[in-house]
Homo-oligomer: A and B are copies of this chain.
Amino acid sequence: MPKVVDHNERRTRIAEALMRVAGERGLEAVSLRHVAAEAGVTSGMVQHYFRTKDEMMRFAIEVVRERGEARLAEATARLGPDPTPRALLRTIVAELLPVDEPRRVDGRVTLAFFAYTAVRPEVAKALRADTATMVGGVAEQIRAGGPRPGVDPELAAVALLALMEGLGIYLLGGHYTAEMALAALDAHLDTIFA
């Protein structure tokens, strides 16, 4: 099925070009033409994947999500069978923090996407179900991991996800080192788990 192979290769090529230009000049400033030039393809070929700014933003965040999921799958596999809930949550958050250049590129795209959706409630709406699912999943891990007395798993999950996004912002701005951010994460996990 050579056509399918072509399609996947081309999609990856365009996705990588988009990430490179977005990582350099900011996702908001990227045009279809920039991506085509960077990928070495025609604008028409790029339009097969996105035609409008909205579609480009959605394509970009989809690519970031796929990369994040691939990283998480690898990292959780390295944890071996039956990791503790704390180890699992630590791995997930640490893997998603922008502590190296590939993750920083993805982090910049995510941040640009958040800024974009903050003024477009109809786009933001689509993300809410994802957040609710994530909060539920994290709360379940907290419940399973033996939280300290008085810890509310749902509220602790909300706080942990917010901590992750906030540390991401500060890391992208170079305000903290990776070590500092991870130490803050570990100290925070200490307050959740007994």
Q: Which A residues have a C-beta under 8 Å from some C-beta of B?
A: 23-29, 107-108, 111-112, 114-119, 121, 124-125, 127-128, 131-132, 148, 150-152, 155-156, 158-159, 161-167, 169-170, 172-176, 180-181, 183-185, 187-188, 190-192
Nearest CB of chain B from residue A89's CB, rounded to whole Å: 14
Tell me, in angstroms, the Cα distance from A192 to B150 when the chains sit together: 12
B159 touches A187 (CB 8 A): yes
B117 touches A114 (CB 8 A): no
Q: Which residue of B lies closest to A161 (CB)?
A: B166
Tell me, in angstroms, the Cα distance from A97 to B58 when the chains sit together: 26
- CB pairs A–B below 8 angstroms (10 shown): A24-B119, A26-B115, A28-B115, A112-B118, A114-B169, A117-B173, A158-B180, A164-B166, A166-B166, A169-B169
The interface residues of chain B lying within 8 Å CB-to-CB of A158 are: 167, 170, 176, 180-181, 184
Nearest CB of chain B from residue A94's CB, rounded to whole Å: 14
The interface residues of chain B lying within 8 Å CB-to-CB of A125 are: 174
B151 touches A191 (CB 8 A): yes
A119 touches B26 (CB 8 A): yes
With A107-B118, A111-B118, A119-B24: A187-B131 Cβ-Cβ less than 8 Å: no
The interface residues of chain B lying within 8 Å CB-to-CB of A159 are: 163, 184-185, 187-188
8 tightest Cβ-Cβ pairs between the two chains A and B? A162-B166, A166-B166, A165-B166, A191-B191, A118-B172, A155-B187, A124-B173, A158-B184
A116 touches B174 (CB 8 A): no
